[in-house]
Amino acid sequence: MNNTWRVMTTKSDAEPWWFFEGWKKDIVQEWTFNNRDEAIGRFLEEMRRLSKSYRKSKSKRLHSIAFWNPGEEFFCEACDDDLQVYYGLIIFENDRPMEIKDESVINEITDRIQQ
């Protein structure tokens, strides 16, 4: 079996690691790779780009990162409340969140992201 990797960005009222029903509709951009290093390179490039635009960030098991600016909200009619807008970054390996084990990648993520 050939491995495939996907890197995607999302925009939602939920952090990207929740994968609530219908989460795929929140995908803004997606890249598919047959090479692990290329996928990780894109993931790190997007992480750097997003971290320059958004003041806050948080990671979940390193494969999913949420970025946001406090106060960037939208009104949810169904819940009658203002909800935070999150910009997500996710990396998948074979349709599952990728387990990141490379120490240099882990260090770059943890150095840039507020855990």
Q: Which two tokens stand for residue 76?
A: 């949810």
- Residue of 89, 113, 96 whose CA lies nearest to 27: 89
Cα dihedral sign, 65-70-76-79: positive
pLDDT in tens, 20-52: 999 999 999 999 999 999 999 999 999 999 999
Which tokens sit at 86? 């999150």
Rounded CA separation 68/54 (Å): 5
**What pTM, to 2 d.p., does this model score?**
0.90
pLDDT digits (tens, 9 = 90+) for 46-95: 999 999 999 999 998 899 999 999 999 988 888 888 999 999 999 999 99
Which of the residue ranges 19-23, 81-85, 105-109, 110-114 would you say has the lowest mean pLDDT? 110-114
| CA 88/CA 68 separation, integer angstroms | 9
pLDDT, residue 61, reads 87
The confidence band for 1, taking pLDDT boundaries of 50, 70 and 90, is: low
